[in-house]
């Protein structure tokens, strides 16, 4: 399988975050993608760098105001105080209920809070470049799968290409149209799905198998009938992101019926998880999807340091095999997975199960 990877992911390398009240080394580290790349090269996968600019699609997925902020955020931070070049910014105030979000404040910290859902998404000088390169990789993978050189997408898709993997970071599925969160800045899965729509696929399904609900992806497509969002995740009553991902969220307006959440209790077994996967795959079939985007979070692994599901490395072979049975052109997007040394093995097993 072709894997799209960019070394620019290393430009996003925050030193620390806050976890359970303590300052700790970031779980979302450059080592994650590097372990995946090394494993895939050992298995004989072809690695390519992105070859399509995501700028146009980003404007379809994210608000212009948010994109302008992300691109200039570090410069704004350093402009406040030259010493900030050696510091990581964190938000400390948010526009919650009764507060206005339509007026962008001039104060940088307030502006950062306007565009953040949490203080768990540390930013550094290279964050925008890394996130943009990741979005380029997502678009490149989708265009490759569509089989349309350059991505003009005016004719029906008749491609022999079946799948591609986007092995980049930072992840994306917590990022909404106008906010960052959960280590995510640009929503790569949404970008890939929108690219597939632009390439001529009438119906695109997004299946999110990350331990944490893809709240950003859900919100982007919640009122649309052309993109189905299905997620298997830890119950938001106890698990991040807490405020979205409940079973009664089915979409709204034209999107009613095109959103399916399958929340599971913390500590769920392999058997429980794969039962939910069967329901998710059935929903994709009922939808009549023409293409599939998989938000491939691998923090469902039993040894993940911030998650509690019980999947083992061998189970990811089965995951890949079940996804292949859907018979759809597929774009895999790397999301979470914080047992970094095992991440390559687990990602490789999914792709091997899919290919075999």
Q: Is 347 exposed, middle or buried (0-12, 13-18, 19+ CB in 10 A)?
A: buried
Q: Where are the domains of the chain?
A: 2-355
Q: Give the pLDDT confidence score for residue 201 in this predicted structure.
A: 97
CB atoms within 10 A of CB 55: 12
**Long-range CB pairs of 15-18, under 8 A, 24+ apart, other chains included:** 15/88, 16/88, 16/122, 17/120, 17/122, 18/90, 18/119, 18/120
pLDDT attached to residue 20: 85
327: left (phi over 0), alpha (psi -120 to 50) or beta: left
pLDDT at residue number 153? 44
Residue range 274-319, pLDDT digits in tens: 999 999 999 999 999 999 999 999 999 999 999 999 999 999 999 9
Quick: pLDDT tens for 331-342.
999 999 999 999
Kindly name the residue from 45, 173, 174, 213 that is annotated as catalytic: 174
Residue pair 236/193 in contact (Cβ under 8 Å)? The answer is no
Give the CATH superfamily of 2-355. Histone deacetylase domain (3.40.800.20)
Can you give the pLDDT at residue 161? 56
pLDDT at 55 over 90: yes
In contact, 73 and 65? CB cutoff 8 Å: no
Nearest CA to 300 out of 249, 349, 253, 246 is that of 349
Q: What is the mean pLDDT of residues 153-171?
A: 73
pLDDT over 90 for what percent of the chain? 94
Element (H, E) at 232: strand 227-234
DSSP string, 50-107: --S--HHHHHHHS-HHHHHHHHHHHHHHHHH-GGGGGS---------TTS--SS--SS
DSSP string, 29-64: -HHHHHHHHHHHHHTT-EEE---S--HHHHHHHS-H
Residue 356: its pLDDT value, please? Answer: 86
pLDDT recorded at residue 110: 97
Mean pLDDT rounded to a whole number for the chain:
95
Q: How confident is the model at residue 148, as a pLDDT?
A: 45
Question: DSSP readout, 267-322?
Answer: T--HHHHHHHHHHHHHHHHHHT-SEEEEEE--TTBTT-TT----B-TTHHHHHHHH
Please give the average per-residue pLDDT across 101-108, as a whole number.
Answer: 97
The confidence score (pLDDT) of residue 158 equals 47
pLDDT of 208 strictly over 90? yes
pTM of the model: 0.95
User: Active-site residue 233, yes or no?
Assistant: no
Q: Is the pLDDT of residue 150 over 70?
A: no
The residue that leads in pLDDT, 154 or 274, is 274
């Amino acid at each position: 399988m072709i894997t799209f990877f960019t070394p620019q992911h290393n430009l996003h390398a925050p030193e620390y975050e806050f976890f359970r009240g303590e300052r700790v080394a970031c779980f979302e580290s450059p080592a994650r993608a590097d372990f995946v790349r090394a494993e895939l090269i050992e298995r004989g996968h072809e690695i390519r760098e992105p070859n399509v600019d995501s700028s146009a699609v980003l404007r379809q997925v994210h608000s212009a105001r948010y994109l302008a902020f992300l691109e200039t955020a570090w410069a704004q931070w350093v402009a406040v105080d030259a010493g900030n070049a050696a510091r990581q910014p964190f938000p400390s105030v948010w526009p919650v209920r009764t507060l206005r979000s339509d007026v962008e404040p001039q104060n940088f910290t307030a502006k950062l809070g306007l565009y953040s859902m949490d203080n768990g998404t540390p930013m550094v000088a290279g964050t925008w470049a890394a996130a943009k390169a990741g979005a380029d990789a997502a678009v490149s993978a989708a265009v490759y799968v569509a089989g349309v050189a350059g991505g003009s997408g005016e004719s029906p898709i008749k491609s022999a290409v079946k799948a591609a993997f986007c092995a980049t970071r930072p992840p994306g599925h917590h990022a909404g149209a106008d906010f960052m969160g959960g280590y995510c800045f640009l929503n790569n899965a949404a970008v890939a799905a929108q690219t597939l729509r632009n390439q001529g696929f009438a119906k695109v399904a997004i299946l999110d198998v990350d331990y944490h609900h893809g709240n950003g992806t859900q919100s982007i497509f919640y009122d649309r009938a052309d993109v189905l969002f299905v997620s298997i995740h830890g119950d938001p009553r106890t698990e991040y992101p807490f405020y979205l991902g409940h079973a009664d969220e089915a979409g709204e307006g034209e999107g009613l019926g095109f959103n399916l959440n399958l929340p599971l209790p913390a500590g769920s077994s392999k058997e429980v998880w794969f039962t939910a996967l069967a329901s998710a795959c059935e929903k994709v079939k009922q939808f009549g999807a023409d293409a599939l985007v998989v938000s491939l979070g691998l923090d469902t692994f039993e040894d993940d340091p911030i998650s509690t599901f019980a999947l083992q490395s061998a189970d990811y072979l089965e995951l890949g095999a079940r996804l292949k049975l859907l018979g759809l052109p597929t774009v895999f997007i790397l999301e979470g997975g914080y047992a970094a040394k095992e991440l390559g093995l687990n990602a490789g097993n999914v792709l091997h199960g899919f290919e075999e």
